[in-house]
Amino acid sequence: MTQKLSSSQVSTQPIEDMYFTGLHWIEASAGSGKTYTLSSLMVRILLEKYLPAQVIATTFTRKAAAELKSRIRARAVDTLAYLNQCRELTEQDIQRKAENEKDPLFATVLKGFSGRIAYACERLKLVIDQLDELFVGTLDSFSQKLLREFAFESGKIERAEITDDARRCSFLLIHDVLREWIQQQPQPVIDYLLLNKKLKSQEAYVSVVESSLNFSSAKFQEVAQPDIQLEAFSAQMTAFSQLDLAQLTSLSAYYLAEGEYHAIVAKKWRDHAKLQRLLTEKLPAFISGIQQQGAYALYASEYAETLKQLADLLKKPLNKCPENVLADFEQHPVIQAVRVFIEELNRLTIDLELLDSYLKFHLATEVRKRLPQVLQQKGETTFAQQIRTLADALQEEGGQRFAAHIHARYPLILVDEFQDTNQDQDNLLAQVWRNPARVKLGCMIMVGDRKQAIYGFRGGDMLTFLKAQMDVSGQSGRTYNLIYNHRSVKPLVEVVDALFQQQPDFGEQVIYSPVQAGSRPHPDLVDEQQINPSPLRWIQLEDKSKEAEQVAWKVCQLLNQGVGGSLFFSENGIQRPVCENDIAVLCKGHRGLDHAQSALEYMGIRTSRPSRKSVFSSMVAKDTGAVLTAIMFPYDEPKVKRALLSRLCGFNLQTLMELEALPDGLSRYMEQFDLIREMWLNQGFLTAWHYCLDQFSVWQNLVSSFSRDNERAVVNLRHLNEVLSQHSEQYQGAQNLYHWYLKQLTSPMEREWEMERRLSSEAGVQLMTIHQSKGLEFRIVFLLEADKAFRERDKPLNFSTVEQFNERTGKMEQQRVVAVNDKHLVEQAAVTQHEERALAEHHRIWYVALTRASYRVYAMLSDDKGKSTGGLAYWRGQGEQIFQHQGSVMEPLMMERPVRKMAQESPVQRDLQAQVFPDQRFYTKAKTSFSALAQHLTRQQIQDALAVAELSIGGAEDEPVYVPETEDTVLEQDQPVSWIKANFPMGTVAGNFLHEIFEHIQFADSSEWLLEIHRRFKNDYSILLKEVTARYQTDFPEQEQSENILLSWIAEWLQQVLDTPLQGSFHLGQLKPDQYLSEFPFQMALADRVPAVKRIHQLFADEGIVMPEFNAANAARYLQGSIDLVFHDGQQYHIADYKSNFLGKDQQQYRTEAIQESMSFASYWLQAAVYLVALHRYLKVQLDDYEIDRDLGGASYLYLRGMNGQAQQGYVYWRPSSEFILRLDAMLGHLTVQADTVLLHETV
């Protein structure tokens, strides 16, 4: 298709140069048109090699996945439209057109399919029809899909639901493990830990446990539990408390001002008689405290300064002096006692710190070990655990066989945002798609930007990225670089590119590669009649506390310029002033955003900020809880009053007091709540809750008075309605759902589904962290704290690396090592590695921040001394080395607050016009069925919406109850049907029973029939057996062994059915197992236009078959069904359909005329014709020399109650003309879509 590159070459045009075999690595810098590239590649993949069901595309978030899938569909539709225009061109014209085409996808497709444009169009039609089968999602959801599809191969057959409560489970496990550990320790150890503030509540250990869970594949450095000798320390403390303080007088020569050696005492000890006060006042007081309080005195705040000074006294108390003088001081009994005591105390402190580190290690390892077990007991798992399970299954015995199954099903995978994958995810991908044995059999495309790897706190690791890249390079993978920035205007691209080139080494082997401005057109930003002037602007603060104020003032100034007409976007002569929605404020942390939001709102500037609040923490959630409580306890007066006083019910204290004054005031509402409770218990939560909302006019109450939070209240209540509705299916029973809801109220969390949703009125200046802004684009960006020094706070773990042998590659590789952060445990080299890793991620964060803007960046600088190297100062430099560029300027500070100007807005009148409903349009893969088309009776009316549902139709669900019309005189029963046929129950259940019996028995061998009938009754139809038995005992009360008799009667009935001649002397009992198939399901493609139901009806009328009108199926794209029996009688292929319809108790009522009348009533002629068309399509594909007249037989409709082994009894055989079948085939869309019937059986 395209010219192949050698593995050593790097391409900048993956759309043109990639071929879909082996490994491919795409480096996609910020704004480089990655989604455009991936959607174009996906169109090529689906057009050239694979169908949608064989391809996997994953990305980091569900939102990104939804966008990618929509872009793929749009790109495919555009490509099809483009190719349709080229159908009439010659191959030479197409080649010339390809040379001049600017769109790389269109040009590549034209070159590759210059002689096969018609094929390309038809292929794309098929791809678009099947695009719903393309999986585009996160790696987490893909792992869930794999475990569901390959449960047997993976050995993980038990189903587990994804929990959203894993964090709570971890929290409870921390609590349990902590309690267990405390109970196992000696009480003195626990006392010392508490006194030393090393034993904390479970909340303090959450960060270290969750961080370790994010790196479950990394080596966790083991911590040994220290052996704390408390007895020895207690003895030493006792000895110290008995120190003879009278000996202090012999040290007076040092601490007294007139002492012989006072002059050589260090100045800090001489000042203010510090040494004297320590030895004569503080030391005795401290010893007295030990005598009275024991170990508590060691950690009392009143003695903290004394202990510090005693430790300092041992370092260098004397200036330069004779050795004997120094020796006399150091060998003094008091100084010696202090030295021994301080050393023992320091040793104890170190041991306690080590014990604290051991406890963290113990908690992390135990939670990691127990969490999967706890979740498994509840039938739950997490996405992370699910991926770990998959990765482990692939490495176990038989793992390669499992991987081969996955690879065969999905030979191509595209992994977006690869820099954010963790080690478990990469292990999964490597085992399946980067295994050397399968690399050339499929294709793996990895897309990422190492400069945007900023999710280390979630488990993302640059080491994983680098090792994967080495793996790709080692297996002759191809590399591609997207070097054009299409997001930003050219001046901004150039200045930012020049800035990053000042320090291209970001750390962790991330080297910045120069980029160029892309070809995407941008409207001009006109500022004082200049186009895109100075896109990078620095604001040097004099007082960093004024940062938020300066940002708000500058934003206000920009908006005023927009109102005044001096700052606007211009495109094709149309001017649009800069508005609040064009501006974003980014910061690394939330604190700066809080200040900026406050300053902006003070200026009257609207802001929009992603919610960090759970819907369960809102007042509406608490009011909802109050109403639910009143429903559960309708006669508890305080609870009912609380519910009525909620915003949902709309009462206030005055109206409630007036209500209580009425004779039946409160009792009336108690009855209402009781009624709702009964409705909840009997009809389910949703019915009761909606009744409650309507009964109390909740929606009207929420907005009855003017308030700024009206929309928030309405949105939150709708959100809570959805949450309660969803969880009412999971938590069966009113009490379970009620207690679950109260649990959420008491401890709201930060799960994605419970975060407050965005309001429709939320517009204005965007406020978000740099992490939240990744992947987004803003026109004008303010960066807060842009030169703030980097400092990592409260790091729970230390990350380093170690060289380790990889058995798979046979090479030494770096392995991630995670350790509890403790200066006594972690070597300095490991600490240095951690600091380098953290600093490198800090650089990448600021790369992301600086590449969000498309027009202009304002960077706020707070370092007025010119010493910072943090943030953007790493590239900007200081002093003489400061960055200089024509697009970079220093913006002056604003000295006074500007007055906000408001634009005059005039209402816009918009005319709304309805579009004509199309006859031909795109259909998703929705289905209808014969049953849906033929439900024409009033009592069985269905909506066309049924066509979009997945219908599961039983074998007898198309059998309406039908009693044939008779003459006024009652017919004599010349030949009554047998008792079992006349009294076997009617309806779907009984019909399904008979269908399943015929499906599972062998027609020519009756030896197992009784066993099959008995098994079917006992396992699935026990109620049906009871009903038949009850009728039998009513009619034959003297008979015993009723069940055995009934089973034998049913077996005789089956034999009569199979012995009834259908065509000449042929009967079904002659068929061998390899001559027939039971329950033959199919999906038959319909046209891309509304099915011509009226034309189909007329076709039957022309054939002399009169039926009621059919239902329309405007949304149907596929027709599905299941043929009861397909058989070959030695000459032709036929179908048969079992009907358990009750037409009467006399054999005469099952004559051919009566059955034909029943078939017209139920539109079975349509069913038979559709089944014959389906079989015709299938045989046309399966038989090489298929001829419809020679190979296709007819349809036999078997009315089982009338079949008695005699000819012309209980059945109708119909073989319409071949022309009829072909015309119906065309009406159903075969000629248009050129798609064959898909059957679940492979051969007949």
User: Among all residues, which ones are annotated catalytic?
Assistant: 1137
Please list, in sequence order, all residues whose beta carbon lies within 8 angstroms of the beta carbon of residue 512, skipping any fewer than 6 positions away: 451, 500, 501, 504, 505, 506, 847
34 carries a ligand binding annotation:
yes
859 is in an annotated binding site: no
**C-alpha span between 313 and 321 (Å, rounded):** 16
For residues 120 and 127, the answer to whether their CB atoms sit within 8 Å is no
In Å, how far are 413, 665, 947 from 429, measured between CA atoms?
A: 9, 67, 38
d(CA 607, CA 601): 7
Residue 560 phi, psi (nearest 5): -65, -40
Q: How far is CA 133 from the centre of its chain?
A: 18
Answer yes or no: is 31 a known binding residue. yes
Please calculate the CA angle 498-500-504 and round it to the nearest 5 degrees: 120
For residue 137, what are the CA distances in angstroms to 58, 63, 134, 162? 5, 9, 10, 16
* Residue 934 C-alpha from the chain's centroid: 40
* Distance of alpha carbon 622 from alpha carbon 642, whole angstroms: 11
Rounded Cα distance, 516 and 29, in Å: 11
**638 to 644, 650, 659: CA distances (angstroms):** 10, 16, 14
Place of tokens 């211009």: 570
Residue 995, marked binder: yes
Report which residue type is found at 702. Answer: L
CA-atom Rg of the chain in angstroms: 41
Which CA distances in Å does 452 have to 770, 843, 851, 1231?
Answer: 11, 10, 10, 51
Q: Rounded to whole angstroms, how far apart are CA atoms 349 and 198? A: 10
Q: Is 543 annotated as a binding residue?
A: no
Most distant CA pair in the chain, distance: 144
Q: Which two tokens stand for residue 219?
A: 């080596």
In degrees, rounded to 5, the angle at the alpha carbon of residue 1196 between the alpha carbons of residues 1190 and 1198 is 165
Q: At what angle do helices 653-661 and 637-644 cross, to 10 degrees?
A: 130
**Token duo for residue 916:** 């004509």
User: What H or E segment, with its residue span, contains residue 97?
Assistant: helix 91-100
**CA pair distance 40, 71, nearest whole angstrom:** 9
1069 among annotated binding-site residues: no
Residue 107 is labelled as binding a ligand: no
Question: Is there a binding annotation on residue 664?
Answer: no
Q: Flag whether 1194 is marked binding.
A: no
**What's the 3-state SS for 72-117?**
HHHHHHHHHHHHHCCCCCCHHHHHHHHHHCCCHHHHHHHHHCCCCH
Per-residue tokens: 1052: 């005789």
| Helix, strand, coil tally for the chain in percent (to 5) | 55, 15, 35
β partners of residue 1134? 1127
Go through 885-910 and write b for each residue having 16 or more CB atoms within 10 A of its CB, e for each that does not. Answer: bebbeebeebeeebeeeeeeeeeeee
With a CB cutoff of 8 Å and minimum separation 6, the contacts of 525 are 489, 531, 532, 567, 568, 569, 578, 779, 855, 856
C-beta atoms surrounding 663 within 10 Å: 7
Instruction: Please give the Cα distance from 1209 to 36 (Å, whole number).
Output: 67
Beta-carbon-side half-sphere exposure of residue 770 (alpha carbons within 13 Å): 25
Instruction: Say if CB 607 and CB 759 are below 8 A apart.
Output: no
Point out which residues pair with 1066 in neighbouring strands.
Answer: 1063
Q: How far apart are the first and last CA of the chain?
A: 39
28 labeled part of a ligand binding site: yes
In this structure, are residues 1137 and 1195 in contact, taking their beta carbons and an 8 Å threshold? yes
Residue 33 counted as an annotated binding residue: yes
d(CA 219, CA 802): 10
Q: Enumerate the known binding-site residues.
A: 28-35, 995, 1124, 1137
Q: Which residues are annotated as a binding site for Mg(2+)?
A: 995, 1124, 1137
Residues placed in the known binding site for ATP:
28-35
